[in-house]
Amino acid sequence: MKRYAAYIIMMLASIAATAQNMGFGTNMGQPHHPATVITRVKAPEWIQPIRVADYSDPEVATLNAELPMLQWLPVVAEGVAMAGITYDLCIVRLMPDQAPDQAIRRNPKVYEKKSLMVPQCLLPKQVMSAFEPEATYVAQVRAKLPPGGQNVQLIDGGRSALMLFKVAPAASSNQPNE
């Protein structure tokens, strides 16, 4: 009789464990997926333009007017660039005595490009002609997950760090280094 009781207790424990793995006894109305793992991935990181010591502020990068390319590292999960990611790029002008994060939230967009499928953007000539060489600009790129990317969480909502840059005058980019 004792063996039979021990067998029944073991079976009930096994049934209870199976039921819990299937979602019974957990948050009702919420599906339970024991194999679902959320992968946290970094937001895009800037590669270009690069920061050089041309200006008094070392945090300000220089955008080459001849080849105005903005480029960032793609969103990567487990060492592989994720498929289906798109990027939105936004550039605003930084006003005197304004914080860059305030500028990106409040200032009118100088340039915006949505749904880029590659981690780079070559700025059009008409946009470049509107940039003023003495002005500082703020750029930010935001990664967006493809539909069905619910097992991935983008750190900082997929928003890159803010990139501050000035446009190098076209004449100065042709001068040889001394």
pLDDT tens across 105-120, in order? 999 999 999 999 999 9
Nearest to 118 by CA among 91, 152, 155, 83: 83
Residue 109's pLDDT is: 97
**Residue holding tokens 């945090």?**
59
Question: With bands split at pLDDT 50, 70 and 90, how would you rate the model's confidence at 123?
Answer: very high
User: H or E element: which one contains 116?
Assistant: strand 109-116
Nearest to 68 by CA among 132, 122, 119, 129: 122
Question: Among the residues of 22-145, which ranges form H helices?
Answer: 100-106, 125-130
For residue 45, how far is the Cα from the chain centroid?
Answer: 7
Contacts of 84 (CB under 8 A, 6+ apart): 145, 146, 149
User: H or E element: which one contains 100?
Assistant: helix 100-106
125, 140 Cβ separation under 8 angstroms:
no
pLDDT digits (tens, 9 = 90+) for 36-46: 667 788 899 99
